[in-house]
Amino acid sequence: MHRRTFSRKYLGIPYAAFLLLFVAAPLIVLIYYAFTNGQGEFTVQNMTGFFSDPNTLGTLCYSFGVALVTTAVCLLLAYPLAYILATSRLKGKSVIVLIFIMPMWINFSLRITALKEILTWIEGNLAYHPFLNTVLGMSYDFLPFMILPIYTAISKLDGALLEAARDLGAGEAQAFLRVTLPLSLPGIMSGVSMVFLPAMTNYVVLDMLYNSTYIMGSLIGSYFAAYNWNGGSMIALILLGIICLFTLLTGGTDDENRRGGALL
């Protein structure tokens, strides 16, 4: 009797279906809309329109600015913390890490609402500092995404390398700059990409903290509300392109670093 053998590759079917349905299909729809006009004819007008309109370009710059400052703030806060936690011999270390990660378990709009009240208490009228509030809100929201990868990267660091550096005459600062920092770079990079990209589009934070200036996410929403799916899709596609570019760049550093690390 011939029995059909169960092959391991059948296990992949659900995932293939998932990819097809939820990754490939929407992407095709997105590309279709981005390169057609309202009548369904092929056009690149949506793309040229995006790059020739001072409003969309300005919005891109503004989103970039928000994301850049947010990422910088997160990095400045997260790195020392992750470093101290990873290198200290504290007993309840994991508990402290947990405390910083814990906000992630609470719904983000609740957290932002709480932050709004705290900021109102400190600043009085929130409307005077929309940019500052946005950056604070986003940093608060995304900080755990920065801490975790950096912490992991530093924890995994081989202590022997640091001892070797000291044996060879490096001071504390030099050992940190030449050994710890380069080796924790993959952690920094993954942290940066996890903070930077959502910060460019997360308009809900802006909205809840009374910033009336559009970022990329809200711009797409406004195009959709005006039934202009084609223009909105093009913006989404351009964002996707920027993200791809970004990932490629950071991914490159990752490889390079691993090679460098092995050589050290």
Closest CB to other proteins among residues 94, 113? 113
Distance CA 247, CA 200 (A): 15
Site for other proteins in 151-210 (CB under 8 A): 182, 203-204, 207-208, 210
Find the binder of other proteins among 12, 20, 22, 44 (CB under 8 A). Answer: 22
* Residue of the chain from 17, 24, 61, 245 that contacts other proteins (CB under 8 A): 61
**Contact range with other proteins by CB under 8 A, out of 56-64, 80-88, 143-151, 237-245:** 56-64
Nearer to other proteins, 62 or 151 (CB): 62
Q: Least distance to other proteins from the beta carbon of 224, Å?
A: 5
Of 17, 18, 40, 58, the residue at the interface with other proteins (CB under 8 A) is 58
Q: Which of 20, 29, 44, 98 binds other proteins (CB under 8 A)?
A: 29
SS3 letters across the chain: CCCCCCCHHHHHHHHHHHHHHHHHHHHHHHHHHHCECCCCCECCHHHHHHHHCHHHHHHHHHHHHHHHHHHHHHHHHHHHHHHHHHHCCCCCHHHHHHHHHHHHHCCHHHHHHHHHHHHHHHHCCHHHCHHHHHHHHHHHHHHHHHHHHHHHHHHCCCHHHHHHHHHCCCCHHHHHHHHHHHHCHHHHHHHHHHHHHHHHHCHHHHHHCCCCCCCHHHHHHHHHHCCCHHHHHHHHHHHHHHHHHHHHHHHHHHHHHHHHHHHC
Question: Which is nearer to other proteins, 61 or 245 (by Cβ)?
Answer: 61
**Is residue 79 close enough to count as binding other proteins by CB under 8 A?**
no
Choices 80-88, 121-129, 136-144, 164-172; region in contact with other proteins by CB under 8 A: 121-129
Residues that bind other proteins (CB under 8 A): 21-22, 25-26, 29-30, 54-59, 61-62, 65, 68, 109, 120, 125-128, 130, 182, 203-204, 207-208, 210-214, 218-219, 221-222, 224-229, 256, 260, 263-264
